[in-house]
Structure 1
Amino acid sequence: MSDTAKPWTQPMPDAQFKLMRDILAAPSPVGLEGAMTYGVLKPYFESFAPSDWHLHQFKGNAGVVLDTHPGRDDMFKLMIIGHADKIRMQVRSIGEDGKVWINTDSFLPGVLIGHEVTLFSEDPNAPGHYRSIEGGTVEALGAIHFSDPAQRDGSKGIKKEQIYLDLQIHGENKKQQVLNLGVRPGDSIIFNRPIRSGFSPNTFYGAYLDNGLGCFVTAEVARLIAEAGGTEKVRVMFAIASYEEIGRFGSRVLAGELKPDALIGVDVNHDYVAAPGIGDKRMQPLEMGKGFTLSVGSIASEQLNRIIASAAKEQDIPMQRDIVGVDTGTDGMAGVLASIDSAATSMGFPIRNMHTISETGNTHDVLAAIHALHHTIKTLDTLPNPKQAFLDNHPRLDQASPLTHQGSAKPENDDEKSA
C-alpha cells in the first residue's frame, strides 16, 4: 500500500477536521452531555447509518449507542466507547463583591487563570431551560501586585479555594447583580476554547480533546463500517458514554445494558516524551505523532490486543504499547466494572497538556486509531466463530518457548525510540 493510499500518513481533510472541531466544541460538561450526543453525534450517525441500524437512547444519561444489528444477541458483540462528558468548573458561592467562587474539578488551579469561559445557568423560573453567559474570566489574585513574594517567585502556588469567576461586576448591589442573572451554586462553567490547527504540521490544540477525540474516532469508525456495507458476524455497538470523568459510571451502564462480548475504550493518552519532569521517571516513550496507543496489562485482553496489533501491522498502521497498572484509567474498564464477561482493552492517542486549555494532539495518531479499529472489526468479522475463538484461545505461558541470547546485531530498520 503506497503512502498516498494511507490516510494516517496524510493531512486530515478539511471536512473531517471540521467534524472533529464541532464534536470537541459541543458544550457537554459532566451530567449535561446532550449537546455533543444529541446536538452533533446523533445527526451525524443518522446521516450515514443504514435503515436497519438502531440508535439506543437511555433514561438516566444522555449517552447513545449506534447498533449495527439490534436485537441480535446471538452474534458476537463488540462495543467501542468514547465518552462525551467534559471536566468542568461549578459555581460554589457568590460573594458580596460580585465574585463568583467556583470549584475547579479536575483542573490544576494554576492553568485556569485569565482564561475565558462560558457559564451555563439553569433558569430558576423555568427548570430545564439553560442560559449561557460569556465574557467572564477565571481569576485568583487579580494582579501580581497583590500576591506575596512566595507566589511571585513561584515557590508558593495557587489554592483551588482562591479561584473565582470575574464577570466584571461593578456599581451598586454587586451580589444582587449576579443573583438577578439567576446564577446559582451548581451551575456549570467550561472553557470557551475551540480547537485550532497548530503551528507544526498535522497538529491541533485547544480545550477538551479529552475526550471528544474518542467520540470522533468512534463515529468515524462507524461511518467507515457503514460505507463498507456493514458486518456479517460481528454486531458492532458504537457507544458514546457519559460520566467517565467521575468514575466511568456511564460506560458501565451501557455495558450492563447491552452485554458486549468484547469492548474497546477509546480515550486520550499522555505524550510522556514531551511531559515536563517525566523523562527521568523512565516512563514508556509514548510520543505524539508516532501512532495510536494500545494498553497492555491491567484487564487488557491479550487476545483482543493480538487482533488489533495484527490488523495494524498488516496495514502498516503505527502503534505504540501503553503499559497500564491495575486500571486502564479509561472506559476500557466498563465491562469489569459492570460485572460483564467481556474481553476488553483500551486504545488512544498521545496528547500534551491534558486537562488544560491547550491540550495538543496530532491528526496522524487520531487517523491511525480510526483505521486500526476499522481493520480490527473487519478481521473479527472473518473469524469462523468469534465467540468460540475468545473462549478457546487464552494465552498459555506454560507453553512459552525457550528464548536464548540473540546477539548484539541491530535489525536493519531498528528504531531505538520505538515503543
Structure 2
Amino acid sequence: MKKLDETLSMLKELTDARGISGEEAEPREVMKTYIEPFADEIFYDNLGSIIAKKKGSADGPKIMIAGHLDEVGFMVTRIDDKGFLRFQPVGGWWGQVLLAQRVTIMTKSGNVTGIIGSKPPHILSPEARKKPVPIKDMYIDIGASDRDEAMKTGVHPGDSVVPYFEFTVMSNPKMLLAKAFDNRVGCAIVIDAFRQLKDGHHPNTIYGVGTVQEEVGLRGAKTAAHLIEPDIAFAIDTGIPGDTPGVTDRDAISSLGEGPQIILYDARTLAHRGLREYVLNVAEKKKIPYQLDTTAGGGTDAGTIHISHAGVPALSITIATRYLHTHASMIHRDDYENAVTLVVEIIRGLDEKTVKDLIKP
C-alpha cells in the first residue's frame, strides 16, 4: 500500500479497529490516542463513551460534538453439534449483503476468522432460489468439525463478531473504502476539529465525544449528554447519497464530493431552526460547500442528545457514504475535509450571545 498521510493513517486505524455496539474498547483507545494531545481533560460516562474537554478563550457555552464509536456487527448465540456458529445481528443489517463475507470473532483467547454461509443454492427449489436467505438461516463457519473443536478455539456464545475489511485508497485517491466509516469518520472529524482548535481561539468549552451503542438505540449519546449538559450539540455521522445507479432524487439527493450534509429532518430529530440558520450562515460566509438533506428513516445521536436535561438545540452534520451497514463503505475525502472546516468555523462563532440569540423561542 502507498504510504498514507496523517489523515489517512488516522482513518485507517479508526476503521480497522474492531468495535461493535457494547464492545467499543479498540476504537475508543484509538480515538483517545489521537485526541488526547489537544484536550485539557479526558473522561468517560458509565457506558464507556469517551469525552474530551477543551476550554477556549472565554468561559462561554458548552458545545458537544459527537461521533459514535460502534459499528454494526453480530453476536454468537450458540454453537451447533457440527461446530457452526449461529448468530444474531447487532445493529441493522440487510440479509442480502452477508453471504460469503469474512468476519472476525473476538474471543477472550484471541481473534478467530470465520465466513458466513447458508444452504447452497444448488439444492434449493427454483422458488427458494428467488428469495433472499433469512439471516436466521445463516451460520458462521470457522472450520471446526464439531462443537468441542469450535470451543477449543475460544469461541463462546456472547462473543462479538466483526466484519472484516482492509482500509483501501481507491484508484481515484479521493475515494476511500473501509469498514466502519459509520461512524469512525465522525470520530475522526471530532479529532481533527480539536486539532485545528488547539490554539484555543474559540469562545466556549468544547466536548468531543466518541459515543457507544449508537447502532442499538443512541444509548451512549444519551448518557454522555446527561453528564455534559451541553448548551449546543452536533452529531457527526454518515448519510445516504443518491449518486449510484437506480437511485432517483425522490430517494436521495446528495452526491459524494459535493460537501457535508446538513440534515434538516430524520426519524429522530427535527433540526433546531435557530441552529440550522446559524450553521447555514457560517457555511455561506466561509464558502464551505454543503448539501441539505432529509431522511425519513434512521437517525443520529442528535435524536437523544436534543431531549436530554432541559433540551439541547441540536443538528446532524453527515458525510455521504455509499454502502452503509455492509462490510465496506465509501466516502469522498473532500467531504471529510469540508466537514472538519465547517465544524471548526461553527465552533469559533458560538459565543455566549450567539447561543442565547439562537436559542430564543
Length-normalised TM-score, structure 2? 0.92
CA distance in 2, matches of 1:184, 1:295: 41
Kindly indicate whether the alpha-carbon contact (under 8 Å) linking 2:203 and 2:348 is maintained by their aligned counterparts in 1.
no
Report deviation, 1:85: 0.8
Q: Are positions 1:375 and 2:323 aligned together?
A: no
CA distance in 2, matches of 1:305, 1:102: 41
Q: Are positions 1:56 and 2:43 aligned together?
A: yes
Match of 2:106 among 120, 125, 132: 120
Report deviation, 1:337: 3.8
Alignment of 1:4-403 (within 5 A): 14-38=5-29, 40-49=30-39, 53-58=40-45, 60-69=46-55, 75-105=60-90, 106-122=92-108, 131-134=110-113, 136-141=114-119, 143-152=120-129, 155-170=130-145, 174-226=146-198, 229-274=199-244, 276=246, 278-279=247-248, 282-297=250-265, 298-324=269-295, 329-381=299-351, 385-392=353-360, 394=361
Kindly indicate whether the alpha-carbon contact (under 8 Å) linking 2:202 and 2:349 is maintained by their aligned counterparts in 1.
no
Q: Deviations over 1:233-286 (max 9, x none)?
A: 21111111001001101001111111101000010000123264x41x713411
Q: Deviations over 1:22-53 (max 9, x none)?
A: 11111111111111112x1111122333xxx1
CA distance in 2, matches of 1:204, 1:233: 34
CA distance in 2, matches of 1:266, 1:215: 8
Identity of aligned pairs, percent? Answer: 21
Q: Classify the secondary structure of the residue corresponding to 1:299.
A: coil
CA distance in 1, matches of 2:239, 2:127: 33
Count matched residues.
Answer: 354
Letter in 2 for 1:390: L
Letter in 2 for 1:192: Y
Shift of the 328–308 alpha-carbon distance from structure 1 to 2, 3 Å rule, reads farther
Letter in 2 for 1:146: I
Length-normalised TM-score, structure 1? 0.79
Kindly indicate whether the alpha-carbon contact (under 8 Å) linking 2:240 and 2:252 is maintained by their aligned counterparts in 1.
no
Kindly indicate whether the alpha-carbon contact (under 8 Å) linking 2:241 and 2:252 is maintained by their aligned counterparts in 1.
no
Kindly indicate whether the alpha-carbon contact (under 8 Å) linking 1:308 and 1:373 is maintained by their aligned counterparts in 2.
no
Q: Classify the secondary structure of the residue corresponding to 1:104.
A: strand
Q: Deviations over 1:95-127 (max 9, x none)?
A: 1111111113322222111121110123xxxxx
Kindly indicate whether the alpha-carbon contact (under 8 Å) linking 2:66 and 2:210 is maintained by their aligned counterparts in 1.
yes
Moved >3 Å (runs of 4+): none
CA distance in 1, matches of 2:166, 2:282: 33
CA distance in 2, matches of 1:157, 1:219: 40
Q: Deviations over 1:158-182 (max 9, x none)?
A: 0111111111223xxx111112233
Shift of the 75–380 alpha-carbon distance from structure 1 to 2, 3 Å rule, reads closer
CA distance in 1, matches of 2:159, 2:202: 46
CA RMSD of aligned residues (A): 2.2
Kindly indicate whether the alpha-carbon contact (under 8 Å) linking 1:328 and 1:346 is maintained by their aligned counterparts in 2.
no
Report deviation, 1:232: 4.8
Shift of the 328–90 alpha-carbon distance from structure 1 to 2, 3 Å rule, reads closer
Kindly indicate whether the alpha-carbon contact (under 8 Å) linking 1:269 and 1:348 is maintained by their aligned counterparts in 2.
yes
Kindly indicate whether the alpha-carbon contact (under 8 Å) linking 2:306 and 2:313 is maintained by their aligned counterparts in 1.
no
Structure whose alpha-carbon radius of gyration is higher = 1
Q: Classify the secondary structure of the residue corresponding to 1:385.
A: helix
Letter in 1 for 2:69: A
Show structure 1 runs of 5+ residues with no match. 1-12, 123-129, 395-419
Letter in 1 for 2:87: I
Shift of the 192–178 alpha-carbon distance from structure 1 to 2, 3 Å rule, reads same
Q: Classify the secondary structure of the residue corresponding to 2:191.
A: helix
Show structure 2 runs of 5+ residues with no match. none
